[in-house]
Amino acid sequence: MRSTSKTILLHEISKLKSKQDQWNPFAWYKQMRENNPVFYDAEQDVWNVFLYDHAKRVLFDHQLFSNKKERSLIPVPRVNNRSNVNFSDPPEHRHRRALLAQAFTPRSLKEWEPRIQAIADELVADMEGQTTVDIVQQLAIPLPVIVIAKLLGVPSQDREKIKAWSDILFYPYERETFGDIADQKARAMKEFQEYLYPIVQEKRKHPADDILSDLTKANLEGEQLTDMEVVMSGIGLLGAGNETTTMLISNMFYSMLFDQPGIYQEMRADSTAMPKLVEEVLRFRFPVAIDRQVAQDTTVFGHKMKKGQIIIAWMGSANRDESQFANAETFDIHRHNNQTHLTFGAGPHFCLGAPLARMEANIALSTFVKRFADIRPVEGFEVTEHLIQSATGQSLKSLPIRVETA
Ligand code: HEM
């Protein structure tokens, strides 16, 4: 077996075995908040924090909790790359982030809105005449991948290849099959690079109005990025913007069916309720965890931590901390502070794509709601039959729902 020493295996910390528990890790989170809020996992030499205030401190305090990590739970193979926003801290991180940030300004997103709407219109129109639709396969997967491909300036017909490569890159490692998974990831990374490289070369010669072209012109500390650095930034964005947004759109429908049945009619009656639903789904149904490396020997959160140890902020747990969210285990789109969830991170690395993800989810929902009068679960629906292992635990690979045309 190949060494797992640089990789942290998240599910070995929770020890949640069944698909059902991995899909709903919230009871375990609660137990940890109550009994073991700062937990040291000796097997992997990793600290874990479960409370809101602790998680927030880990994300904000980059001097004590650095993103320059020798080990990580991010399952994507690491490639040395000056433009990588991960694995860097301020001040150098600020330059790297600025390169990408131009693409995600409110102005550039405003320009994107009609194009995202057109993609959503087409996907929802394709559901015409069906009484059962698979939300994951027909909307939640294609929308983000088409959008991010178009934003980058990559042919969106290639979306299945792009999706397949990013899925492999983000697929979680397991101890028993570590070598096989590592080989698959290396192959996917090589193919993805070989695919994007000529596209980037072409953009450098003939820049267009897209992110890859902008990156070929970008200036990092007085130097241009190499073609391979642009390729790697592209892979980073294609990966970051895909599975996460798919999860958001899928979970949004799951919540409307199972966390608060009937709420669909509120969406139809009041369009201002939609962004509130999106925020509550982000708070309520997102088992995200982020890692940092302890930068110096210290005593923090009442424990002695050593330089070089890894600390994981379990944001999915922080989002259900009663000290931040009253009745945290209840799905309630009208809570006043649900935007303070940590699902997009916090501090210097706060998700650059958050406004894009929010816009995609809102457009997906409003477009769907206009066409369908009601939704219901299909008979005999068992969530465990529709799950797939993902970087964060289990996510929906399909979600068939009954629809009534408006
Ligand atoms: C629901 C959807 C999404 C979720 C839950 C999510 C979550 C996150 C989180 C938690 C971080 C912080 C990582 C850290 O602190 O180490 C992050 C960073 C990032 N996200 Fe997202 N993300 C989503 C969508 C997107 C999209 C659509 C894009 C772009 C296409 C994107 C691009 C990025 C980038 C570039 C960073 C790195 C920022 C930095 O390190 O400065 N994300 N995301």
Q: Of 63, 65, 75, 58, nearest to 6 (Cα)?
A: 75
Q: How many CB atoms lie within 10 A of CB 302?
A: 7
Tens of pLDDT, residue by residue, the chain (406 residues): 455 668 888 888 988 889 999 999 999 999 999 999 999 999 999 999 999 999 999 999 999 999 998 888 776 777 666 767 777 889 888 888 888 887 777 778 888 899 999 999 999 999 999 999 999 999 999 999 999 999 999 998 998 999 899 888 887 777 778 788 888 888 999 999 999 999 999 999 999 989 999 889 887 777 888 999 899 999 988 888 888 999 999 999 999 999 999 999 999 999 999 999 999 999 999 999 999 999 999 999 999 999 999 999 999 999 999 999 999 999 999 999 999 999 999 999 999 999 999 999 999 999 999 999 999 999 999 999 999 988 778 999 999 999 998 8
How far away, in angstroms, is 269 Cα from ligand 1 center? 32
Expressed in angstroms and rounded, the spacing between residue 347 Cα and the centre of ligand 1 is 12
> What atom of ligand 1 comes closest to residue 244's alpha carbon?
2
DSSP string, 301-355: TTEEE-TT-EEEEEHHHHTT-TTTSTTTTS--TT-TTGGG--TT--GGG--TTHH
Cβ–Cβ < 8 Å for 82, 228:
no
Identify the CATH number of the domain defined by range 10-405: 1.10.630.10
Looking from the CA of residue 86, the nearest atom of ligand 1 is 40
* β-bridge pairing 310-314 and 46-49: parallel
Ligand 1 pocket by C-beta < 6 Å: which residues? 59, 85-86, 97, 100, 148, 237, 240-241, 244-245, 248, 288, 290, 343-345, 349, 351-353, 356-357
Domain boundaries, the chain: 10-405
- State how far the Cα of 310 lies from the Cα of 307, in Å rounded to an integer: 9
Ligand 1: residue of 60, 86, 351, 358 to mutate (most ligand atoms within 8 A of CB) is 351
Report the first-to-last Cα separation within the chain, whole angstroms: 56
Distance 349 CA to ligand 1 centre (A): 8
